[in-house]
A and B are shown apart, each in its own frame.
Chain A
């Protein structure tokens, strides 16, 4: 007999999400990102001769003197955590770090590409638990947040820091070019003339905890993943996995689709992905709910995306402000959606974050405002 919400989860303790930090081409820290989103300022910039055939491409690339932006981002993020939290908490046996990344540090091949991330964490938090590493393509960040919530709910850990990180490399640029999935213009998620993704790099951290305390926080409600069982590199035509993941998350939350006040969609800007999402959200009866994609601000940051976009959802909830879906002008999906063409003031009780990616994965989570 499967154990479901009704007979078991009732006894589980609440989980709260708090800001960690966010480093992206937009800036360093949560406030810098609020200022950029409220003024609809993108972190994407044109970079010369970066494509396989030396094309100029828009990228969300951090400008730093060092060569290795992965190490720079992770070190900066860890330093930000040290400023905010006591060493006891960061190094506690009741604290865990969960890393969400697709490619980590490819320069290490043939050695372990994830080892540099472990080494950096160990240097900053010497007695901390071995980090848990999740690599599930573009849904990694949302999957990592859902796992962190389970660790807190089950009382295995009291605090969990979810680190979403990926850096731009020739590898991913050439790879997405080879699939004809990379746009040579600024990306336009859900728009009629969209041509594909722009790549970005970022590192975001969310702190999940059992303690509400005084800092701003939101409550974790539920989260699910589901596979399309259809294709490894293209989304389902019917939005099957996304439909199932959202349905199951709503069921666990014991709320209905229209209780959701805002959807932070995946919205990569490829024809197939955005079409799929429009179909899934219509099947769910969610076409009227305000929705955006944040890829026009960050580009697609792969393993970091779920974490950094959830951080921006938290900003929307704190400031009762939904942000414009940058790059969107005219409906261009088979089913219509309520895409935010301007910033919109709105108090949100429930927010849905979704992600879909290679391997046919879909992951979603639902957050709730804390009064």
Chain B
């Protein structure tokens, strides 16, 4: 397996394959700022939770590298993960019934982390395998283990993501597209790329 391309975004900016692509002007509405900058036309974006918005933007940043629809339809598998699940919208939904006295259906539907993969599947017409894992922290070797399984199951490409939108954690999204080629380990490379993006 081989990393084809990767992107990263946080409140500081957005980068593709290690190179900065955009630096945010505003802190509050930074996902919208990038949406405008990328000239996206997908009104549903504005209703999404933070996880879905970040993942969609991170994928848009690498959209040119995605294989064609014939391959991605079932041959692209998704391996997504974070530590905080959907806790930001969990708290917002709780607020809708404890403070506003009206449980909000539009918040409730985002109180599951795997909605992210669902939103991407809808936008890009991906019907393949997908799974969302809750991990204590970013774990490159765990991604590699899941990648091996995905390629054994017939994937041609795999889109991996670490996406976090939690009040007590760094809001960030790191995606990397992996193709099924020679069977080399990726763990160290993935770890290194992630650390570079985080300036660690």
Contact = CB atoms under 8 A, between A and B. Distances in A.
Given A133-B135, A156-B145, A232 B115 contact: yes
A227 B118 contact: yes
Interface in B48-103: 74-75, 83-85, 87, 90-91, 93-94, 97, 103
A132 B115 contact: no
A225 B122 contact: no
Interface string A136-159: 110000010001001000101000
Interface in A184-234: 224-233
A2 B180 contact: yes
Interface size class of A (residues with CB under 8 A): 35 or more
A233 B109 contact: yes
B112 to A, nearest CB: 5
Contacts of A232: 109, 115, 118-119, 122
Nearest to A106: B90
A269 interface: no
A248 B166 CA distance: 36
For B91, B115, B151, which residue has the most chain A Cβ atoms within 10 angstroms?
B115
Interface stretch (B4-12, B27-35, B123-131): B123-131
Contacts of A112: 83-84
Interface in A78-120: 102-104, 106, 109-114, 118
Nearest to A12: B152
A227 B130 contact: yes
B154 to A, nearest CB: 4
Given A241-B127, A244-B127, A171 B94 contact: yes
A230 B125 CA distance: 8
Contacts of B131: 134, 136, 143, 147, 225
A3 to B, nearest CB: 6
A178 B129 CA distance: 30
Given A113-B85, A178-B103, A358 B118 contact: yes
B24 interface: no
A135 interface: yes
B133 to A, nearest CB: 6
B114 interface: yes
A178 B105 contact: yes
Given A134-B131, A154-B152, A360-B118, A175 B112 contact: no
Contacts of B130: 136, 225, 227, 361
B36 interface: no
Contacts of B126: 227, 229
Interface of B: 74-75, 83-85, 87, 90-91, 93-94, 97, 103-105, 108-109, 111-115, 117-119, 121-122, 124-136, 145, 148-149, 151-156, 166-168, 180
User: Which 6 pairs across A and B sit closest by C-beta, in order of nearness?
Assistant: A359-B118, A175-B108, A227-B121, A174-B103, A178-B103, A133-B134
15 contacts: A2-B75, A2-B155, A9-B152, A52-B103, A106-B94, A113-B87, A114-B85, A133-B133, A134-B132, A135-B133, A154-B152, A178-B104, A179-B105, A227-B118, A232-B122
